[in-house]
Amino acid sequence: MAPGTGDHIPAHAIDHPAVVAMASSAGGLAALSAVLSAFPADFPAAILVVQHLDPVHTSHLAEIMERRIAIHATQAHDGERVRHGTAYFAIPDRHLLLNNDGTLSLTSAPAVHFVRPAADLLFSSVAASSGDQAIAVVLSGGGSDGAEGVVAVAKAGGTVIAQDEQSSEFFSMPRAAIETGRVDHVLPLDSIADCIMKLVDDRSKVT
């Protein structure tokens, strides 16, 4: 396939920490809490989180998570450089993107499949910036957001995890990801954090 078609994103050196992109919607608070609370404070990766939010109300998700988890939790800020051991949460009504230099962008670009922030854009940006080091995780949620981004991560050589039906409060988002045929691991909620930690550890040994 000719370059530029989007069917392959070359792996390349990155100058920012390993990045795990996570997305959720309905039922996502419990799912995010379960996964993020399993990471130690010195978790050697940054985590970028899109949770579908009410666009007109201030989100307190990062504050809630900060009280529940060992890693640092914060709202994402435009231009901020990601650091390991930190979870960055998208803010209402802004897409969250990772740039090639390891900084974050918050944009008011049009909604994707009626949502902003959108997992599709986050996943695609992580695929473009991290190549085969990218890890994408689709948790409980309604709709199909994330499916297109999952394909981008897979084409970049990254790894995709989806929550299984039995442990999902709402399975539409994980199902849409799984139906792309590009999900590497379909796991119960209580197994996802261990899988992520192994993937991050494996990447640290080869980079």
The closest alpha carbon to 45, from 162, 152, 135, belongs to 135
How far CA 26 is from CA of 64, 113, 116, 183, 199, in Å, comes to: 17, 16, 15, 20, 26
The closest alpha carbon to 21, from 48, 3, 61, 44, belongs to 48
Q: Angle 72-22-82 (CA atoms, 0-180°, nearest 5)? A: 45
Q: Which of 24, 145, 167, 168 is catalytic?
A: 145
Assess contact for 85 and 42: CB atoms under 8 A. yes
Task: Give the number of other Cβ atoms within 10 Å of residue 56's Cβ.
Answer: 7
The DSSP element (H or E) to which 65 belongs, if any, is: helix 61-68
Q: Which of 16, 24, 25, 130 is catalytic?
A: 25
Cis peptide before 117 (omega within 30 of 0): yes
> From CA 207, how far away is CA 96, in angstroms rounded?
26
Q: Which of 52, 120, 124, 140 is catalytic?
A: 52
Assess contact for 176 and 186: CB atoms under 8 A. no
145 is a catalytic site residue: yes
113 is a catalytic site residue: no
- State the catalytic residues: 25, 52, 145
